[in-house]
Amino acid sequence: MKLAERLAALAAGVDQGTYQPALFSLADAWDRRKVEALVVAGEVREVHDRYVDQLAELCATRSPKQKLRGEALDEAVRAALGDGPPEERGTWVHYPWSGRLVHVLGEADYRELRFSRNRYKITPDEQAALRDKRIGVVGLSVGQASAVTLALEGVGGLLRLADFDELALSNMNRLRAGVHEIGVHKCVIAARAIAEIDPFLRVEVSRTGVTEENVEAFLTEGGKLDLLIEECDDLYTKVFLRERARAHGIPVLMETNDRGMLDVERFDREPDRPVLHSLLRGLSAAELKGLTQAQKVAIVLRILGPDALKGRLGASLLEVEETTTSWPQLASGTMLGGAVSTDAARRVLLGELTRSGRYFVDLDAIVKDGREAEVQVDAALEEAFVRKPLPSPEAPPLARPADKRTVTREDVRRLVGFGVLAPSGGNAQPWRFVAKGGRVRCKVSPDGGRTLNDFQHAASFVALGAAVENMVLAAPAMGLSAEVALAPDAKDPLAACDVVFRVDDASYAVDPLCAVLGARCTNRKLGTGAPLSERAAAGLVEAAEARGGKLLLATDRAAVAEVGEILGQADRMMFLSRKHNEEMGAELRWTEEEILRTRDGLDVLTLDVAASDLAAVRLATTWKAVEFTAKMGGGGALVKSARRALGSSSAVGLVVFPGTASHSYFEGGRALERVWLEATARGIAIQPWSAMLYLFARLERGAGKGLEPKVRDRLGELRQRFLRVFDVPAGHAEILLFRLSKADPPTARSLRKPVEDVLSFG
Ligand SMILES: Cc1cc2nc3c(=O)[nH]c(=O)nc-3n(C[C@H](O)[C@H](O)[C@H](O)COP(=O)(O)O)c2cc1C
């Protein structure tokens, strides 16, 4: 045979038409025989078996935390493979047009792995919903880009493709195809490409395009399409397809490959909507038959709108059938069209893009000289990376002129100056002082109690108690006596006490704790894990008892770790709950300007996290970022901080006080302050971890009011675990929970508002 004849014979044997892959399981005897037959018949020209690699990747993606590698990964793969031979696992796919036989994961595993990187952009529920959808694509220039992108992204479980045309070389400026595919039907080329990406995706093709004869079947066979993507050139087809889609209530998308123009027509929601946004002024499909080229151009221009004239497309339309055979289309526009239509399809099918309308993703207008976007940085975060800590708050002088006979305003200012050095939740400084002579009324600020973590002002009363304890400790060193009268005004529930300072001419015993009033602070640094000595523990317990409180200590490593787990779970829950998240975010101060202006809240430097973790703090307290994590049930990373901090600690302390009314929190606050000062004197670092405790109180004594139901349930479980660690005596208020550790001094300390802001003279 001559070469030319042999070549012609080989050419005649080329498969121009098949597009469905055949799927086999070699665990099935019948399938085995079929594969054997294919091999014998010479239908298998290449075998690709990377099944075990796929399985290994699947195992690794299922355990991202473990970062499986080496022996651990091999072990996981062995377990996943089980006993049988690997070739009997998964699916073998035969592609008749190429003679390839490929071993891939089984359908469910294949999907899970292939779409694992879609996660969090498309949730697993959304992926499943999209897999149920049937999408028609008509016209496979832009349509090919759409169909392939739909398949890549997992949008649609059935794709029905229609085009009457075969690939020509001149199409290859924008269609992704090989030179060996010239002459092959465009929809077959697309279907094959899709089958090679996802052999499990159902694809049907209509090689005649959509015609009056097959339109009904195209739109409704086997169940109505959920969406039609219309990308054909022919005006008549455009209109009659829409008329039929509208009759069936099928939404239509069109991407025009000019200025990124996308049309959305929601015939499913608007059954009477005129096709193509009324641009045809009532012309029906029938009236579009047999138009001249000039008439067609006029209608195309009407559809595209006046701006189309201004671009190169407008000029080109005049050249059609003069110097060019059809209007121009570029690969960049086609690929963009595929992306834009797939994105819109996903959102329409997930119920997001509900309105009809026209959009432009016009790269000429968006990306051009003069339209450069300002490159933005998160200035507050950037500043926090490099900012130096501000000076710590200072204690007022203790010395007092010997000859004074009365308590002066300056004395009161100094005493309150010691008071405000006390700790307060979120550094809210929720206290007010009104002085008349030497009598100082101490109240909780009316702004206190507004947050979820300040149930019935409990946290505010604790802070006020601590402030009063500071003043009472400072008084003797200033030559004054101090007497505390509780509940001075029955009509004012926010007034906790009056402290009466006097000049008694006596010499007062100065409590050694007075020496550390200015040094006490919150220290969130990680500790060394060194155990708490028995002496230190006894000293702290005594300090609480000196004011009628009780300090419960968990020092056992396992108990401390369990508290870390409980707090981690509570933190995660609070970060993922909008109200809590926003409250936590509102406490933080990122810039020096903000800190010096407000002088309250938490300077992020006091969190003592590594600079690299500040970005994570920013993210975790930005609700928009966390919202989706919450929806997905994610947020495991939010558990880590408590786990790590508690893991570095020597012990966990819980101060309790008899009774549960406001004054118990107030007096408990005084006991707490003594514990904290005692710890300061002994070089022990303290970091409260309080939010969960006050939520427990809200749960138990406030019937969980203000909490989301899921938070309430979860909190109930955590409460039970907590009570297994701490034997809280009945009828006691839980004042504060904190971790104790041996740690370096904190990087920064919280500022205080000026005394004048919280003290008035009556
Ligand atoms: C009632 C109360 C609750 C607190 N809760 C927390 C907490 O959950 N987490 C934390 O890191 N610090 C907590 N703190 C510490 C305060 O943020 C801290 O006292 C305040 O910022 C002032 O800083 P200073 O203690 O260094 O003076 C709490 C303090 C009090 C009094």
**pLDDT tens-digit series, residues 211-221:** 999 999 999 99
Instruction: Report the pLDDT value the prediction gives residue 449, as an integer from 0 to 100.
Output: 63
> How would residue 335 be classed by pLDDT, with cut points 50, 70 and 90?
very high
Instruction: Report the pLDDT value the prediction gives residue 368, as an integer from 0 to 100.
Output: 95
For ligand 1, the distance from its centroid to the CA atom of residue 544, given in whole angstroms, is 18
For ligand 1, the distance from its centroid to the CA atom of residue 748, given in whole angstroms, is 13
- Establish whether residue 429 lines the binding site of ligand 1, counting it when its CB lies within 6 angstroms of any ligand atom: no
CATH fold of 409-517 reads NADH Oxidase (3.40.109)
Whether the pLDDT of residue 258 is over 90: the answer is no
- CATH code for the domain defined by 124-366: 3.40.50.720
Whether the pLDDT of residue 401 is over 70: the answer is no
pLDDT digits (tens, 9 = 90+) for 119-157: 888 988 999 999 999 999 999 988 999 999 999 999 999
Which residue of 563, 604, 690 sits with most ligand 1 atoms within 8 Å of its CB, as the best mutation to test the pocket? 690
From atom 9 of ligand 1, which residue's Cα is the shortest distance away? Answer: 689
pLDDT digits (tens, 9 = 90+) for 606-634: 999 988 889 989 999 999 888 888 877 77
- Establish whether residue 669 lines the binding site of ligand 1, counting it when its CB lies within 6 angstroms of any ligand atom: no
For ligand 1, the distance from its centroid to the CA atom of residue 686, given in whole angstroms, is 9
Q: What is the chain's mean pLDDT, rounded?
A: 93
Whether the pLDDT of residue 709 is over 80: the answer is yes
- Establish whether residue 691 lines the binding site of ligand 1, counting it when its CB lies within 6 angstroms of any ligand atom: yes
- Distance (Å, rounded) from C-alpha 146 to C-alpha 137? 8
Instruction: Report the pLDDT value the prediction gives residue 309, as an integer from 0 to 100.
Output: 66
pLDDT digits (tens, 9 = 90+) for 287-322: 888 788 778 878 888 888 877 766 666 667 677 667
- Establish whether residue 142 lines the binding site of ligand 1, counting it when its CB lies within 6 angstroms of any ligand atom: no
Instruction: Report the pLDDT value the prediction gives residue 45, as an integer from 0 to 100.
Output: 96
Whether the pLDDT of residue 286 is over 80: the answer is yes
pLDDT digits (tens, 9 = 90+) for 36-46: 999 999 999 99
Same topology between domain 124-366 and domain 534-741: no
Q: Which amino acid is at 632?
A: M
Whether the pLDDT of residue 326 is over 80: the answer is no
For ligand 1, the distance from its centroid to the CA atom of residue 588, given in whole angstroms, is 12
Whether the pLDDT of residue 398 is over 90: the answer is no
- Atom of ligand 1 at shortest distance to CA of 462? 1
Instruction: Report the pLDDT value the prediction gives residue 637, as an integer from 0 to 100.
Output: 79
- Establish whether residue 430 lines the binding site of ligand 1, counting it when its CB lies within 6 angstroms of any ligand atom: no
For ligand 1, the distance from its centroid to the CA atom of residue 687, given in whole angstroms, is 7
Q: What DSSP designation does 159 have?
A: E
For ligand 1, the distance from its centroid to the CA atom of residue 680, given in whole angstroms, is 15
Instruction: Report the pLDDT value the prediction gives residue 677, as an integer from 0 to 100.
Output: 98
CATH fold of 534-741 reads NADH Oxidase (3.40.109)
Residue pair 161/203 in contact (Cβ under 8 Å)? The answer is yes
Instruction: Report the pLDDT value the prediction gives residue 402, as an integer from 0 to 100.
Output: 67
What's the average model confidence in pLDDT over 687-705? 92
Neighbours of 409 (CB within 10 A): 11
Q: Which of 19-23, 160-164, 291-295, 556-560 has the weakest average pLDDT? A: 291-295
The residue extents of the domains of the chain are 14-114, 124-366, 409-517, 534-741
> How would residue 505 be classed by pLDDT, with cut points 50, 70 and 90?
low
User: What sign does the dihedral 151-157-162-166 (CA atoms) show?
Assistant: positive
For ligand 1, the distance from its centroid to the CA atom of residue 392, given in whole angstroms, is 15
What's the average model confidence in pLDDT over 261-275? 97
- Distance (Å, rounded) from C-alpha 693 to C-alpha 655? 11
- Establish whether residue 308 lines the binding site of ligand 1, counting it when its CB lies within 6 angstroms of any ligand atom: no
For ligand 1, the distance from its centroid to the CA atom of residue 380, given in whole angstroms, is 23
- Establish whether residue 736 lines the binding site of ligand 1, counting it when its CB lies within 6 angstroms of any ligand atom: yes
- Establish whether residue 614 lines the binding site of ligand 1, counting it when its CB lies within 6 angstroms of any ligand atom: no
> How would residue 492 be classed by pLDDT, with cut points 50, 70 and 90?
very high
- Atom of ligand 1 at shortest distance to CA of 521? 26
User: Any residues with CB less than 8 A from the CB of 412 and at least 6 apart, and which?
Assistant: 433, 435, 438, 440, 501, 759, 761
Q: Which of 233-242, 309-318, 529-538 has the weakest average pLDDT? A: 309-318
Residue pair 746/525 in contact (Cβ under 8 Å)? The answer is yes
- Establish whether residue 459 lines the binding site of ligand 1, counting it when its CB lies within 6 angstroms of any ligand atom: yes
Backbone dihedral angles phi then psi of residue 470, each to the nearest 5 degrees = -60, -45
- Distance (Å, rounded) from C-alpha 146 to C-alpha 201? 15
Instruction: Report the pLDDT value the prediction gives residue 310, as an integer from 0 to 100.
Output: 67
Q: Distance from first CA to last CA of the chain, Å, rounded?
A: 118
- Establish whether residue 688 lines the binding site of ligand 1, counting it when its CB lies within 6 angstroms of any ligand atom: yes
From atom 27 of ligand 1, which residue's Cα is the shortest distance away? Answer: 521
Instruction: Report the pLDDT value the prediction gives residue 708, as an integer from 0 to 100.
Output: 83
From atom 18 of ligand 1, which residue's Cα is the shortest distance away? Answer: 423
